[in-house]
Structure 1
Amino acid sequence: MQLSKLSGSILSGLHCFLIAADHMSFTRAAETLCLTQSAVSHKIKNLEEILDVQLFIRQHRKLVLTDEGQRLKQVLASNFGDIIHEIRDLKSAELSGDLTISVPPTFAQTWLVPRLASFIDKYPNVRIHLRTRNDLVDFQTESYDCAIYFGNGEYPNLAVDKLLEERMFPVCSHEYAIKYQLYHQPENLIHCLLLHDAAPWARAGRNDEWQFWAQHFKVELPDNGCTFDRADLAIKAATTGMGVAMARQSFVAEQLASSRLVSPFDMTVNSAHSYYVVCRKDMQTSPKINAFKNWLFSEIDS
């Protein structure tokens, strides 16, 4: 019998035959395919009728491949293997190539980079290009796939997903807290040197974080300070006993746990800003960008 094309029933029968030939058992093939034993037997009998070829010799509690069945098994094993390999290549091709991301410097150093190896392990064909900056990306003229922003979430013409909220509180070394009698006495901040992240978010003022915290708790601040263009530098300066820095919770967990930093008073406030993942709206269905976003959220939930 000549076959003009491979119909769905023939392809299904060929797959069923290959599984049965691998196991040399209709019962085990049925378990693999989540079918009944009679359904497997029917599919193979139907295939034999279509091909006009006997594929199995059915003996008591035993199957034996005919010569024709053996030839068909070899051809199918090779070709089905090629198909599976090609499908895997197609799927991995969706998650391969370059992924260029803009990230705030301290968030990259303290939160993202320590976790990034797990993304690479999961998607080894994606080449990450991480660039740190505090200002916003111009997606029309700059070749970024996505960005992480710390801000208010209002980014017109972009796809925006809220990633992580932040809490803020002052930190310093234990020695500095003792020297200036800071424990449970925030009024003594007036005598301290404040360490400022001069660019906590795009277009922020150099002391905006400290002012936001102080207004919330009605604390008077000194008119002084040392500014840094990265939050991690202000935090590092605090660990050396230079002064008091305004910390974000995600930045200082390790230093607090190791007592390199202390929070001298229990006065924590939710930041007015959060972390967001953004990209162009026409790129929000990109497999690479979605894989990166889903991985970020899984890291936060873990």
Structure 2
Amino acid sequence: MKGQLPSTASLQCFIAAVEHGNVTRAAEQLCLTQSAVSRQIKQLEDLLGRPLFERVRQRLVLTQAGARFHQQISPVLDLLAQAVEEFRLYRPGESLVLGIEPALAGHWLLPQLPAFTDQFPDISIHLMTDIHKLYQRHPGCDLLVLFGRGDWPGYQVDYLMGDELVAVASPALVAKAGPVSGAEDLKRYPLLHHKSPESSSETWWRAHGMVDSAIRQMPGQRLENFPLLLQAALQGMGVAILPWYFVADRIGAGDLVQLGQRLACEGGYYLLSEADTLASSGAEAFREWMVSLVKKT
């Protein structure tokens, strides 16, 4: 930057003197003494090398040089004041961690999340999708989407949606193993089991009258997450029990065949948040968006 710049104090005194045409009133506005204002204006004139005011009948009147300087410096000071005010009001963007099952995140939330980021560009959403940590209830998240019956003391709980399970298999496997009229017919098929604290396959078989000990003894591969179960079913490796939202598009496309009726689960998906978390405007905005989202669907 070339040249010596005047102090902001001298510029403030200069502008106030222009506005009031009087050192006394300028001093009152700035909460300074008259001598302090006069001294600042004198320092500015010395820096610029020419007088900025002349006295006419006890008033300060701009000289030609003073008028030109005022015309040039006023918009600069306005920009400076605007920048200071904007920076004073600026708050860094918030970052939230949402705990959610990976399948629900990939097939339900992520396709709709751009609408939230468009509306709230300063709020970053990070997803924690480790399902084992998720159901430990203390995964270090600001908000949680959990499957259950809504009984989580100490949390603000918002119902999002119910869940349905469906048995699916590849068209080739169905052609080979034959039609299905009920859950018992599925036992003719190779089975794929969901190995998880909230196991979809255990929920399915339990609803069809089997006890846990018998379910654990059933033959078949056991896979830890829905994407693996989906891929195994697509490859014709067996029947998978998966959420309807996760496979509806695959069934519609003819990649998978629905076997039997869908099973409505007793629980549902809920959004959990703590009061301290909702004190954050970003967390409350995301909560309201999530609740409004499911009302539209």
Q: Shared topology, TM-score over 0.5?
A: yes
Cα distance, 1:214 vs structure 2 = 2.1
- 1:275 corresponds in structure 2 to 269
Q: Deviation string for 1:35-59 (max 9, x for gaps)?
A: xxxxxxxxxxxxxxxxxxxxxxxxx
- 1:227 corresponds in structure 2 to 222
Which consecutive unaligned segments of at least 5 residues does structure 2 have?
1-19, 30-70
Q: One-letter code of the match for 2:224?
A: D
Q: Deviation string for 1:253-294 (max 9, x for gaps)?
A: 2111211111132x1221122111112232234321222122
- 1:211 corresponds in structure 2 to 205
Measure, in 2, the Cα distance between the counterparts of 1:209 and 1:138: 21
Q: Structure 1 residue 246 and structure 2 residue 241: aligned?
A: yes
- 1:190 corresponds in structure 2 to 187
Q: Structure 1 residue 117 and structure 2 residue 117: aligned?
A: no
Q: One-letter code of the match for 2:119?
A: K
Provide the secondary structure at the position in 2 that maps to 1:242. coil
Provide the secondary structure at the position in 2 that maps to 1:268. strand
Q: Structure 1 residue 284 and structure 2 residue 278: aligned?
A: yes
Which consecutive unaligned segments of at least 5 residues does structure 1 have?
6-70
- Structure 1 residue aligned with 2:125, among 123, 128, 152? 128
- 2:169 corresponds in structure 1 to 172
TM-aligned CA distance change 1:255 to 1:213, over 3 Å: farther
> Which protein has the larger Cα radius of gyration, Structure 1 or Structure 2?
2
- Structure 2 residue aligned with 1:261, among 253, 256, 259? 256
Cα distance, 1:299 vs structure 2 = 3.0
CA RMSD between the two structures: 3.5
Q: Structure 1 residue 298 and structure 2 residue 275: aligned?
A: no
Q: Deviation string for 1:77-112 (max 9, x for gaps)?
A: x69x959x859x95x848x22111111111112111
Q: One-letter code of the match for 1:292?
A: F
- 2:59 corresponds in structure 1 to none
Q: One-letter code of the match for 1:136?
A: Y
Provide the secondary structure at the position in 2 that maps to 1:156. coil
Measure, in 2, the Cα distance between the counterparts of 1:206 and 1:118: 30
TM-aligned CA distance change 1:270 to 1:182, over 3 Å: same
TM-score (norm: length of structure 2): 0.63
TM-aligned CA distance change 1:108 to 1:206, over 3 Å: closer
Q: Which 4+ residue blocks in structure 1 deviate beyond 6 angstroms? A: none
Equivalent pairs: percent with the same residue?
25
**What is the aligned residue count?**
223
Provide the secondary structure at the position in 2 that maps to 1:155. coil
Measure, in 2, the Cα distance between the counterparts of 1:287 and 1:276: 20
TM-score (norm: length of structure 1): 0.62
Provide the secondary structure at the position in 1 that maps to 2:288. helix
Cα distance, 1:163 vs structure 2 = 0.9
Provide the secondary structure at the position in 1 that maps to 2:255. coil
Measure, in 2, the Cα distance between the counterparts of 1:106 and 1:293: 20
Measure, in 2, the Cα distance between the counterparts of 1:210 and 1:151: 15
